[in-house]
């Protein structure tokens, strides 16, 4: 049974739906249809996982057979169209098998970022009530917590019993499902206390896949994909675009610049961009040589702050840099073409993609709508507050448009820190800080980070006579709270009182400015 109440999703205006269908931006194809058709044409295409703990090498055909055996095994256990399948896996072959199996079954897939802690994972599983859940027995700091998935009927743990769920014979074909129906729930941090469940349909996902595939440089080379497949864009780049294009898949389960440089030299792989951190940490590594740089032809940057200093540096090294703007809710709003003028590529976020519309409200907030815009959130109140009856989505970002309709992002209205491409909701971090002894009031803001773009900074007002906790104490508290390490504050500041508006609200823009200026 579907787990998303119809009332949680927005109503897409009929005129927009008809327009997207008439222009071919929406089709009657489902994810399962795409996989069934395209995998048939490229069964021998390479699929590799470059991992120190779980390396794997095979072909699309090998992964498809595993996916179809898994689909058959899940079908025997009663999983089918409209049911929910969640997975929290690193960039491993099994993640592809689960994603493809879900699509073939017509199920709604829920990818979970592999470094989310028990707090986030527990909330996501309670929210989506999956029929099946897949996790790693152990990876990095995380290990499988059976109590989190105790209510899930079918659980598969990679490294323990995953293979037990594979049927002897693979499932043929794909099960029919409405292409306008939910296909994916992607969870992302935002201004709410818990991660937001963003719902996409087969139509919005496939539109995004085709848009990105068409926008990427055709000579971009063999991509090394390290962006987590629990993330929306990592998942599309790993599991859908290569199938559409028939291009090889090379996954990495951790970002290690030394490993990436070795693969560039030895395997002729390339890192094509993503969050700026991937490119800057690669170029700044002591092993990076002119020969490595010469093989990096393109850098498509997005998902976090993209300083002009970074794009200009890349361009000076002979790497064609270009920027894009989007979010989990609306993945590809604007794009600066890789073959466009330097002014556009280096210093703006580009123009709207095919079928996408955007406008600015009186405060400069960006409103968007388009064929790859999500169906809404699992939380109906959040859907109601972010989407209007005409199909416009309030992004929470501030921008300017030039005379040619080219967008440049200037600020964020929403209270989100973007650390290396990962969204961190300030409110959820503040909630944990307020549980520390002696903390009277807490504010969390973005602080500049030379490697990651931004990180979380905690600003605390303490109760009289109480000492400000140090970073070690903060880390111990956040670990006990079960929150993902990437969300832990990486600096702490104390104030006697906060700068406030007339209504008493903390002026976070002042805190961000003061921290950036090294004011204490």
pLDDT at 190: 65
Round the average pLDDT of the chain to a whole number and report it: 91
The C-alpha atoms of residue 326 and residue 401 are separated, in whole angstroms, by 16
- Which one is the CATH code of 255-369+379-412: 1.10.357.10, 3.40.50.2020, 3.40.50.12780, 3.40.605.10? 3.40.50.12780
pLDDT at 2: 47
Residues of the chain with CATH 3.30.300.30: 416-516
- Encoded tokens for 32: 């399962």
- In percent, the amount of the chain with pLDDT more than 90 equals 72
CATH superfamily assigned to domain 13-215: ANL, N-terminal domain (3.40.50.12780)
Fold of 416-516: GMP Synthetase; Chain A, domain 3 (3.30.300)
In this structure, the dihedral spanned by the alpha carbons of residues 257, 259, 261 and 267, taken in order and rounded to 10 degrees, is -150
Query: pLDDT band at 1, cuts 50/70/90?
Result: very low
Q: Is pLDDT of 6 > 70? A: no
The C-alpha atoms of residue 429 and residue 489 are separated, in whole angstroms, by 8
Query: pLDDT band at 40, cuts 50/70/90?
Result: very high
Query: pLDDT band at 414, cuts 50/70/90?
Result: low
Give 234-290 pLDDT, tens digit per residue.
999 999 999 999 999 999 999 999 999 999 999 999 998 887 778 888 998 999 999
Residues of the chain with CATH 3.40.50.12780: 13-215, 255-369+379-412
The C-alpha atoms of residue 51 and residue 355 are separated, in whole angstroms, by 39
Using CB atoms within 10 Å of the CB of residue 149, give its burial: 0 to 12 exposed, 13 to 18 middle, 19+ buried. buried
Give 136-178 pLDDT, tens digit per residue.
999 988 899 999 999 999 999 999 999 999 999 999 999 999 9
In this prediction the pTM is 0.84
Q: Is pLDDT of 412 > 80? A: no
Query: pLDDT band at 378, cuts 50/70/90?
Result: very high
Give 193-249 pLDDT, tens digit per residue.
788 999 999 999 999 999 999 999 999 999 999 999 998 889 999 999 999 999 999
Give 83-128 pLDDT, tens digit per residue.
999 999 999 999 999 999 999 999 999 999 888 889 999 999 999 9
Q: Is pLDDT of 519 > 60? A: no
Locate the DSSP E strands across 181-235. Answer: 182-188, 196-201, 222-225
Say what angle helices 232-239 and 202-215 make with each other, to 10 degrees. Answer: 70
Asked if 5 contacts 380 with a C-beta cutoff of 8 angstroms, the reply is yes
Give 42-99 pLDDT, tens digit per residue.
999 999 999 999 999 999 999 999 999 999 999 999 999 999 999 999 999 999 999 9
pLDDT at 397: 87
């Amino acid at each position: 049974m579907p787990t998303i109440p119809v009332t949680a999703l927005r109503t897409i205006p009929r005129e927009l739906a008809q327009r997207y269908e008439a222009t071919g931006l929406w089709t009657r194809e489902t994810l399962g249809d795409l996989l069934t058709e395209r995998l048939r044409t490229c069964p021998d295409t390479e699929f590799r996982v470059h991992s120190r703990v779980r390396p794997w090498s095979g072909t699309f055909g090998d992964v498809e057979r595993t996916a179809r055996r898994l689909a058959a095994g899940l079908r025997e256990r009663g999983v089918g169209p409209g049911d929910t399948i969640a997975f929290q896996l690193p960039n491993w072959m099994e993640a592809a098998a689960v994603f493809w199996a879900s699509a073939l079954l017509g199920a709604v897939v829920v990818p979970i970022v592999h470094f989310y802690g028990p707090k986030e994972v527990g909330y996501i599983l309670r929210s989506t009530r999956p029929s099946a859940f897949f996790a790693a027995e152990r990876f990095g700091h995380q290990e499988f917590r059976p109590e989190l998935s105790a209510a899930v009927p079918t659980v598969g743990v990679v490294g323990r019993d995953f293979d037990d769920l594979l049927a002897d014979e693979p499932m043929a074909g794909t099960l029919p499902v409405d292409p306008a129906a939910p296909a994916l729930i992607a969870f992302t941090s935002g201004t709410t206390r818990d991660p937001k469940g963003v719902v996409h349909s087969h139509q919005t996902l496939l539109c995004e896949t085709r848009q990105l595939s068409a926008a990427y440089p055709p000579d971009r080379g063999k991509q090394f994909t390290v962006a987590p497949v629990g993330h929306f864009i990592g998942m599309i780049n790993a599991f859908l675009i290569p199938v559409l294009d028939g291009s090889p898949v090379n996954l990495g389960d951790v970002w290690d610049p030394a490993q990436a440089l070795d693969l560039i030299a030895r395997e002729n792989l390339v890192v094509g961009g993503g969050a700026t951190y991937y490119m800057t940490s690669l170029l700044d590594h002591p092993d990076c040589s002119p020969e490595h740089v010469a093989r990096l032809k393109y850098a498509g940057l997005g998902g976090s702050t993209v300083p002009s200093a970074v794009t200009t540096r890349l361009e000076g090294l002979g790497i064609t840099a270009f920027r894009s703007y989007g979010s989990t809710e609306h993945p590809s709003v604007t794009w600066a073409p890789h073959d466009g003028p330097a002014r556009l590529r280096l210093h703006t976020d580009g123009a709207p993609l095919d079928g996408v519309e955007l406008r600015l409200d009186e405060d400069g907030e960006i409103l968007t709508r388009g064929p790859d815009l999500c169906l809404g959130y699992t939380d109906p109140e959040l859907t109601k507050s972010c989407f209007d009856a005409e199909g416009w989505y309030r992004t929470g970002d501030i921008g300017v448009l030039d005379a040619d309709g080219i967008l440049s992002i200037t600020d964020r209205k929403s209270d989100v820190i973007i650390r290396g491409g990962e969204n961190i909701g300030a409110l959820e971090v503040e909630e944990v800080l307020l549980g520390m002894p002696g903390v009277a009031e807490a504010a969390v803001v973005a602080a500049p980070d030379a490697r990651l773009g931004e990180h979380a900074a905690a600003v605390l007002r303490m109760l009289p006579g109480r000492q400000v906790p140090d970073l070690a104490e903060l880390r111990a508290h956040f670990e006990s709270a079960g929150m993902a390490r990437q969300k832990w504050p990486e600096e702490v500041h104390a104030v006697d009182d906060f700068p406030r508006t007339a209504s008493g609200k903390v002026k976070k823009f002042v805190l961000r400015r003061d921290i950036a200026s090294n004011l204490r």
